[in-house]
Amino acid sequence: MRFASALTTKTDWAEAVEDLGRQVAAQLGPVKTDLAVLFVHPKFAPQIDAVVESAQKAVGARHLVGCTGAGIVGVDQEVEQQPAISPAGCGVAGRQGRALPSDREKSGGIDRPELLAFPA
C-alpha cells in the first residue's frame, strides 16, 4: 500500500487543485488512488462542489471523503487562518479497493458510510 499527502496554499481553487494533482502523482506514480481524504479551508466553500469534483479527478481517487476546517494539515505542516487544501490518499499496486455497502439492519437502523475493502 502506498500513501501520499499534499498541501497547497494557492488562493485560486483551480490552481490549487492542479498543484495537488501534481504532488500526489509525483508520490504515487502509476499506483491508482483508491481512497482520498480531502481537507478544505472554508474560503473555498462557495466553490466546494467544483473543488471536490476537480480534486477527486486530479488525485485520481476512486473514493473521496472530506471536510472543511480552519486549520489544514498536510505533508509536514499545519496551515492556520489562511486558505489551504490538503488531500491524503492511498492506493495498492495491482489491487483495487471496492466500496462495501453498510448493513443498515446490523447498525440499528443508522445509515453508515460505505467501507473500503481490499479483497484477498
pLDDT per position as a tens digit, 72-108 = 999 989 999 899 999 998 876 665 555 555 555 554 5
Type of residue at 111: D
Q: Residue 15: which H helix or E strand, with range?
A: helix 13-28
C-alpha cell at 115: 467501507
- All structural domains of the chain, each given as residue ranges with its CATH number in brackets, are 2-117 (3.30.1330)
pLDDT band at 11 (very low <50, low <70, confident <90, very high): very high
pLDDT of 26 reads 94
pLDDT per position as a tens digit, 30-51 = 888 888 999 999 999 999 999 9
pLDDT band at 117 (very low <50, low <70, confident <90, very high): very low
